[in-house]
A and B are shown apart, each in its own frame.
Chain A
Amino acid sequence: MNNKESLTPLIISLRLTIICFIAVSLLISVNALTIGKIQENSKTEEDRANKFLFANAVSFSEKQIFSSLNEKDKKIIYYFKAFDAGKNTLGYVVYSQGSGFGGAMKVGFSVDTDMKIIKIKLMDNSETPGYGKKYEMEENVKFFYGSNTKEKPLPNNLVSLSPEDKDTVTSATISFKGIAGALEKGVNLLKNEIK
């Protein structure tokens, strides 16, 4: 076997490995530099979201986990208790996850003690701007408000929507189903947790 031929793949692999190693080192450094700020932003966003989702609440509990979930999901799906001035529980703010057109979406929502949906906020997502991203605006998710009761079940398919709401959902049905799925999952977990 020719010596050069046998060496070439080795040198190629070695050089690619060195390039990858430098890239990884650079990424680790930048990550170390930005992680604190990113976490701080995420905490601020969550506090703001809690206040938006439960405007009547005076304070919130510490982050609560769903005991039925595995360790990985516990970090993604969790809830807060919302209290009034007398520390009575007004309801809950739940952060759940659904699958949209661009992958996983974080959905925050509030429910009262009867599990009626109060407000919804689409949070971290990779939905397409102009389509799935439109659910970040409150007016496009209002049809969920007040649902999850006997009179108004949680809308989870197109048939359950009014013609006006169907117009809103058209062109972004996968994201809509993802949000509905996240709500359903969150509500069911909460029901089991507080039983």
Chain B
Amino acid sequence: MSNMIKQENSLLKEFTKGIIKENPSLIILLGLCPTLAVTTSIANGIGMGIAASAVLICSNIMISLLKNYIPEQVRIPAYIVVIASFVTIVEMLMKAYVPLLAKTLGIFVPLIVVNCIILGRAEAFANKKNVLESIMDALGMGLGFTLSLLLISMIREIFGYCWIDFRNYGVKEVLTLPVITKDSELIIELFGKKIEFYKGIFVLAMAPGAFFVIGLILAVINYFKSKFEDKEIL
């Protein structure tokens, strides 16, 4: 009985670690290329997160199952074959069922093959652990990656464009934020004063904006991390 509880706790630990403690994008800083490039809209962020997570889960399962069969000397090429196959499958499914999203994500879908998160989890985790643990690890890491993409894309799309665009998923209209006035200016009332913004901080939606946003998020994370560590020392 206690063994079962221990195993359950260990599985839960494998799942939760990827969400915050070992978040692949924001803590370990892996897979930054797609993180920076596709987070121009929430739809792209979610799409990329789900696609990468699907590949991560399938490749972790397969590599964990084949870990005793894959020769040690050629494990990296074998992993690449497995990962590339799943990426191609995801790409074909996306082209068939969400063609607009596949078109928008473009080259970044095939590039999941060389995503460090997927290869890293295969090498560091799936080839050492059993299938169940590998699934939990992939689910946690995938969710952590998707959430970090969602956070960055939310900041970039909402503050950059002042809208939320889900047209790639078949939604007909762009959702314009209700805080925007007739003149498309974002007005926030703070301490009795009206603060007016330009209709969008457009630089956030551009490539440098991705660096600004991720830099600010990392600064906040590091601030809380150092506070937490200081408390532990005391």
Which A residues are within 8 Å of any B CB, using their own CB?
11-12, 15-16, 19-20, 23, 26-27, 30-31, 34, 37-38, 41, 45, 102, 124-131, 133
Main secondary structure of the interface of B (DSSP, over half): helix
Does B78 contact A27, Cβ atoms closer than 8 Å?
no
B40 interface hit (Cβ, 8 Å): yes
Does B40 contact A130, Cβ atoms closer than 8 Å?
yes
Checking A37, A45, A124 against B97 with a beta-carbon cut-off of 8 angstroms, the contacting residue is A37
Most buried by B among A34, A38, A41, A129: A129
Does A31 contact B92, Cβ atoms closer than 8 Å?
yes
Does B37 contact A11, Cβ atoms closer than 8 Å?
no
B10 interface hit (Cβ, 8 Å): no
Question: B103-121 interface mask toward A, CB cutoff 8 Å, 1 = contact, 0 = none?
Answer: 1111110000000000000
In the assembly, what is the distance between CA of A30 and CA of B103, in Å?
Answer: 19
Does A34 contact B95, Cβ atoms closer than 8 Å?
yes
B12 interface hit (Cβ, 8 Å): no
Does A130 contact B206, Cβ atoms closer than 8 Å?
yes
In the assembly, what is the distance between CA of A41 and CA of B103, in Å?
Answer: 12
Nearest CB of B to A134, in Å = 10
Kindly report which residue of chain A lies nearest to residue B84, judged by CB atoms.
A23
Does B96 contact A41, Cβ atoms closer than 8 Å?
yes
Checking B71, B88, B207 against A130 with a beta-carbon cut-off of 8 angstroms, the contacting residue is B207
Checking B40, B70, B84, B89 against A129 with a beta-carbon cut-off of 8 angstroms, the contacting residue is B40
**Inter-chain contacts of B106 with A (CB < 8 A):** 102, 125-129, 133
